[in-house]
Chain A
Amino acid sequence: MFVPLKWLKDYVDIDHMDVRKLSEDLEMSGSKVEAVEVLGEEIDKVVVGKILEIQRHPNADKLLVTKVDVGSEIIQIVTGADNIQEGHYVPIVLVGGTLPGGVKIKKGKLRGEESSGMMCSAKELGLVDKVIPAYQKDGIYILDQAYTPGDDIKGILGIKGHVIEFEITPNRPDCLSMLGMARETAATFNLDMNYPEIKINHEHGNIEEVASVEVLNTDFCRRYAARAATDIVIKPSPEWMQRRLMEAGVRPISNIVDITNYVMLEMGQPLHAFDLNMLTDKKIIVKQAEEGSVFTTLDGTERKLDSSMLMICDGEKPVAIAGVMGGENSEVTDETRAILLESANFYNDNVRATSKKLGLRTEASARFEKGVDPNIALNAVNRACQLIEELGAGKIVGGIIDIYPNKLEKRSLKARPQRINDLLGTKLSPEEISNILQKLEIEVSQDEEGLLLAIPTFRQDITEEIDIVEEVARIYGYNRIDVTIPKGNSQGAKTNGQIIEDYAKKYLNAAGVTEISTYSFVSPKGFDMIGLPEESFMRRSVKLINPLGEENSIMRTTLMPNMLEVLSRNNNRNVESVKAFEIGRVFLPHSIPVDQLPIEKPVLTLGMYGQNIDFFTMKGTIESVFHNLGIQNIAFTPEKNHPTFHPGRCANLVWENHILGVIGEIHPDVAENYDLEVRTYLGEIDFNIVLQITRLDRIYKALPKYPAITRDIALVVKDEVYVKQIEDIIKENGGKLLEQVQLFDVYKGKQIKEGYKSVAYALTYRGEDRTLTDEEVVKVHDKILNQLKEKLDAQLRD
Chain B
Amino acid sequence: MREKLEQIKTLALEEIVKAQSMQELEQVRIKYLGKKGELTAVLRGMGGLSQEERPIVGQIANEVREAIENSLGSAVEGVKAIEKNARLAVETIDVTMPGKSQEIGHRHPLNVVLDEIKGIFMGMGFKIAEGPEVETVFYNFDALNAPQNHPSRDLSDTFYISEDILLRTQTSPVQVRTMERSKPPIRVISPGRCFRRDTPDATHSPMFHQIEGLVVDKNITMADLKGTLDLFAKQFFGVGTKTKFRPHYFPFTEPSAEVDVSCFKCQGAGCRVCKGSGWIEILGAGMVHPNVLKVCGIDPEVYSGFAFGMGLDRIAMLKHEIDDIRLFFENDMRFIKQF
Contact = CB atoms under 8 A, between A and B. Distances in A.
Interface of A: 27-30, 32, 169-172, 348-349, 352, 422-426, 464, 466-467, 469-470, 473-474, 478-479, 481-495, 498, 505, 508-521, 542-548, 552, 555, 566, 569-570, 573, 575, 578-581, 585, 587, 593-598, 600
Contact of A597 (B165, B207, B227): B165
B245 A478 contact: yes
A350 B246 CA distance: 33
Interface string B242-275: 0011111100001111100000000000000000
B309 interface: no
Contacts of B111: 505, 515, 517
Contacts of B150: 170
Contacts of A515: 105-108, 111, 336
Interface in B133-183: 133-136, 149-150, 155-156, 159-162, 165, 167
B104 A509 contact: yes
A423 B304 contact: yes
A636 B63 CA distance: 74
- A169, A467, A489 interface centre (most CB from chain B within 10 Å): A169
Given A425-B224, A489-B125, A542 B246 contact: no
Contacts of B329: 517-519
A169 B256 CA distance: 11
Given A29-B247, A483-B226, A508-B105, A494 B185 contact: no
A520 B106 contact: no
- The 4 A-B residue pairs whose C-beta atoms are closest, nearest first, are A425-B223, A425-B221, A492-B122, A30-B247
Contacts of B7: none
Contact of B122 (A32, A488, A493): A493
Category for how many chain B residues contact A: 35 or more
A575 B222 contact: no
5 contacts: A30-B248, A423-B304, A425-B221, A470-B247, A587-B134
Given A478-B246, A570-B333, A485 B304 contact: no
Contacts of B185: 488, 490
Contacts of A570: 331-333
A547 B206 CA distance: 10
Given A510-B104, A511-B105, 14 more contacts: A171-B249, A172-B249, A349-B149, A425-B222, A425-B223, A478-B226, A485-B227, A492-B122, A515-B107, A515-B108, A519-B207, A521-B206, A543-B161, A587-B134
A424 B222 contact: yes
B236 interface: no
A727 to B, nearest CB: 29
A236 to B, nearest CB: 37
A474 B255 contact: yes
B44 to A, nearest CB: 44
Contacts of A473: 222, 247, 255
B104 A594 contact: no
A722 to B, nearest CB: 30
B245 A479 contact: yes
Contact of B128 (A349, A494, A555): A494
A547 B256 CA distance: 32
B65 interface: no
A584 to B, nearest CB: 9
B105 A548 contact: no
B29 interface: no
Contacts of A494: 118, 122, 127-128
Given A545-B155, A570-B333, A517 B254 contact: no
B295 to A, nearest CB: 14
